[in-house]
Amino acid sequence: MNGFTAPACIFPSAASAATNRIDARRACASLGRAAIGLLIAAGSLVLWSGCMTTSKTRPAVPPALSRANVPAKGVGASPAAPVTVPQAPAMAVPPKRSQPASAPGIVTVGPDAVVIRLTMLVESEPAGATIVVDGRPVGKTPLQLGVPASPLGFFRDYVEIRARFIADNETEVSQTAMEEFSSREKVPAILRFTPTGVRRTVR
């Protein structure tokens, strides 16, 4: 019994046990350093990706707000250009329409507001009859009579024209011929009166 010796695999020696403990500590230290390195690398990757995303999504500074376009406020800076506010154009005042002057020798009848007038020649047989327009004597034949008319040549209003033939002596009798015009009738070029009737000459 005293000469029995246990095998080395069953009862390791104290030196080999210490060596195993040292190797285990070194392995744990290596694993710890590797884990710390991985954590540092992962954190750096996260920070780098965040910086890239921020730089891509950052809005661009508009040109109007950039420092290059902001005028300097120091000495020698050029003054700001004055701003001119455009004014509305003045309303144009239409010129007053002047009444056309009547030609010499032409008698005009009707209101002055009427601009368009047509002239007709009034004659009589015998000559010298007194012409009365709407109850107002205007002259003796032959004469040029200007009357208000539409652009198409029609009378503007109702017009009554009379020719009075005054007797020269006791043997003659005074006579009157009358012609009426409505706004549906055109102004004739010539109107010829006789003691017995009226004849029109169209334009």
Backbone angles phi, psi at 38, to 5 degrees: -65, -40
When pLDDT is averaged across residues 3-26 and rounded to a whole number, the result is 58
Residue 181's CB is within 10 A of a number of other CB atoms, namely 19
What letter does residue 145 receive in the DSSP assignment?
E
Confidence of residue 154 (pLDDT cuts 50, 70, 90): very high
Q: Strands 130-133 and 136-140: what pairing?
A: antiparallel
When pLDDT is averaged across residues 9-23 and rounded to a whole number, the result is 59
Confidence of residue 139 (pLDDT cuts 50, 70, 90): very high
What is the share, in percent, of the chain residues with pLDDT greater than 70?
Answer: 51
Domain positions in the chain: 13-60, 106-201
User: Residue 71: is it exposed, middle or buried by C-beta count within 10 angstroms (0-12/13-18/19+)?
Assistant: exposed
When pLDDT is averaged across residues 42-64 and rounded to a whole number, the result is 57
Supply the pLDDT for residue 100: 56
